[in-house]
Amino acid sequence: MADTLATKRANNDIFLLIGRVLAASLFIASGVQKLMGIEGTVGYIEAVGLPYPIVLAWIAAIFETAAGLLLLVGFLTRSAALALAGFCFFTAFVFHFQPDDPQQMTQLMKNIALAGGCLAFAAVGAGRFSVDRG
């Protein structure tokens, strides 16, 4: 019985590591893309009518990159994942809620699914293969 529990725990830690790498890669790539093309991000924010688009663009770019890196290495995982979940919900409804546009609604659902994954990391942590170790 103990071997079975140890095997399950080891598998869970491996799955958490793989999940963190996959999820973090999306956030890091998106953040770096924003950093490299901040003007486009500013335009996108302006298009939805949010105030201070240049400030929000830099905040979003830095946040996505930094939080993605935290998730990747598993440091402050629960907090980073919870913040990323909030970010995903916010961006889903502010930027992608366009019921007449199937592509935008797919993006909305993608963000909601990412938020769900982030909430799972917030609930269970990063696993053994992380800086947090749990």
For the chain of 134 residues, list the mean pLDDT of each consecutive stretch of 10. 72 95 98 98 97 98 98 98 98 97 98 98 96 85
14/22 Cα distance (integer angstroms): 12
Domain borders along the chain are 2-124
Model pLDDT, residue 5: 74
Model pLDDT, residue 2: 59
Model pLDDT, residue 114: 97
Model pLDDT, residue 3: 66
User: Hey, what amino acid is at 17?
Assistant: L
Residue 3 in 3-state DSSP? helix
CA angle in degrees (0–180, nearest 5) for 25-127-21: 10
> Contact at 8 Å (CB) between 126 and 134?
yes
Based on the number of CB atoms within 10 Å of its own CB, is 36 exposed (0-12), middle (13-18) or buried (19 or more)?
exposed
Model pLDDT, residue 47: 96
Model pLDDT, residue 7: 81
